[in-house]
Structure 1
Amino acid sequence: MIHRQTFVLLAALTLAGLLPVAGHAQAAKPAPAPVEGVDYVAIEGGQPWQPLAGKIEVVEVFAYWCHHCRDFQPMVDQWRKGLAKDVRFTYVPAAFDLQDNYARAYFAADALGAQGKTHHATFRAIHDTQAMPSRGVSVEEIATFYDGLGVNAKRTRAAMTSKATDARMQAAREFAIRSGIEGTPTIVVNGIWRVRGRTLPDVLRITDALVARERARRAASTTP
């Protein structure tokens, strides 16, 4: 059973009000380099979710029913706008329960090319409008919900119950276990670094630093 971390957002949300008024403008201090064991964990024997194919992989392990993931989503949306071309960002549902129908729905929508219609809408339906249950959702409920979003219900049912989705659920479960996922949302870089963070913005800061570190390592390895 997955245990969700509690991310403390209060410091990030109230920081501006806590800063003392300075008589003179001060240059912003550079963010400290991430510290292993504090800001991130090196994953022993870690492997990326997909073959890297020259990319730096950033995976967010998430769950639709996780309210922290709902809070994280707009931050990730903004952050992704600035990603360099050598970075590949991928969502992976936390499929600890192979019968988790929301995780199956994610893979079904991906197979149908419908994530643009379903991903944010699913978060809103669970957490904002409560139009969908947070737990125990059925295949039929999801198919009906997706149909209202313009995704054919019959195709959704077939995709959610397909052998291909079974295989992707098993792969997601194995990725979460070998990556040491303890809660959602969790970021994993290249399958070898699991990001920690005191706040959700801090998670992205650390991710940026690890991506830069990997980019520098690659550049150094190709320098004569």
Structure 2
Amino acid sequence: MIRRLLALGLLLLLPLSAAAQQPAPVEGRDYVRIEGGQRWKPEPGTVEVVEIFAYSCGHCDQFRPMLDAWKRTAGKDVRVHYLPAAYSPDDAYARGYFALEALGRVAQVHPLLFDAIHREYSLPARGASGGEMAGFLAAQGLDAAKVHAAMASPATDEKMNAAREFAVRSGLQGTPTLIINGKYRVLGRTLGDSLRIADGLIAMERAVSR
């Protein structure tokens, strides 16, 4: 009986030991340091993780449930923000995302947009018009007039410009990309590797703030 309890205890400790033995991220291999980098939404006492994504991106679609699961265990001090890759000021998907933010419906509708493109094919993967995007959001229960107003608002114009500047400053090369505290761009070789590296960079940032 005692031997069984000891064996069980060792099994329970294995994940912790494996995590502790994870090598620290290496600059140039695991991440790039962003010169003059700034956070997207500064919040004292937290570590910021920004996912730059595109709704049309198949890898972003695969990454979404992984990131959702990861952030539930990342720690109370970690703040995860989604940021659309606003390649064009007329990008209807990016404008639609910022409309969702303004209307407080990101949690409910953000996953549905990936489903609409990658599984249901009810929205085009590229070149969606503002009308198509607004129509889809209205079909999810949002007020159509409020959606149109939010997508075309000066506040959304500002966010589109800021998102593009953030991506350019970060040296964005593709999606999805994780940016930690505005200082580090993750260079994961796989989607899971990106989360491993993010864990290491978060640990580095926590150590600096102590």
- TM-score, structure 1 length as denominator? 0.84
Partner of 2:72: 81
Distance 2:195 2:115 in 1: 22
- One-letter code aligned to 1:100: D
Aligned partner letter, 2:98: F
- Kept after mapping to 2: 8 A contact 1:60/1:90: yes
In the alignment, structure 1 residue 129 sits paired with structure 2 residue 120: yes
Distance in structure 1 (CA, Å) of the matches to 2:43 and 2:105: 24
1:208 is aligned, of 193, 199, 203, to 199
Q: Tell me which residue corresponds to 2:5.
A: none
Write the deviation string for residues 12-70 of structure 1: whole angstroms up to 9, x where unpaired.
Answer: xxxxxxxxxxxxx9x67522211100000011111111223221111000010111100
SS of 1:58's partner is strand
In the TM superposition, what are the counterparts of 1:39-78 in structure 2 within 5 Å?
Answer: 39-78=30-69
- Which amino acid is the alignment partner of residue 103 of structure 1? A
Q: Does 1:218 align with 2:196?
A: no
Asked if 1:172 is matched to 2:163, the reply is yes
Determine the C-alpha separation between the residues in 2 that align with 1:83 and 1:33.
17
Find the counterpart in structure 1 of residue 139 from structure 2. 148
Could you tell me which residue of structure 1 aligns to residue 3 of structure 2?
none
Tell me which residue corresponds to 2:87. Answer: 96
Q: Spell out, residue by residue over 1:117-137, the C-alpha distance to the aligned partner (whole angstroms, 9 max, x if none).
A: 210000000011111001111
Which residue number corresponds to residue 108 of structure 2?
A: 117
**What secondary structure is seen at the aligned counterpart in 2 of 1:54?**
coil
Unaligned runs of 5+ in 1: 1-24, 220-224
Aligned partners of 1:78 and 1:84: how far apart in 2?
12
More helix by share: 2
* One-letter amino acid of the structure 2 residue matched with residue 146 of structure 1: L
Deviations along 1:197-224, one digit per CA (max 9) or x if unpaired, are 11100000000110011001111xxxxx
Is 1:187 matched up with 2:185? no
Query: SS at 1:167's partner residue?
Result: helix
Question: Structure 2 CA distance, aligned partners of 1:116 and 1:86?
Answer: 19
Equivalenced residue count is 194
TM-score, structure 2 normalization = 0.89
1:42 touches 1:193 (CA, 8 Å); kept in 2? Answer: yes
Partner SS for 1:41: strand
Unaligned runs of 5+ in 2: 1-10
Matched, 1:162 2:153: yes
Across the aligned residues of Structure 1 and Structure 2, the Cα RMSD in angstroms comes to: 1.3
User: Aligned residue for 1:35?
Assistant: 26
1:198 alignment counterpart: 189
State the 1:99 CA deviation: 1.0
Question: Partners in 2 of 1:140 and 1:96 — Cα distance?
Answer: 19
Q: After alignment, is 27-36 or 151-160 more displaced? A: 27-36
Query: Structure 1 stretches (4+) deviating beyond 6 angstroms?
Result: none
**SS of equivalent residue, structure 2 residue 133:** helix
Q: Distance in 1 between matches of 2:143 and 2:192?
A: 36
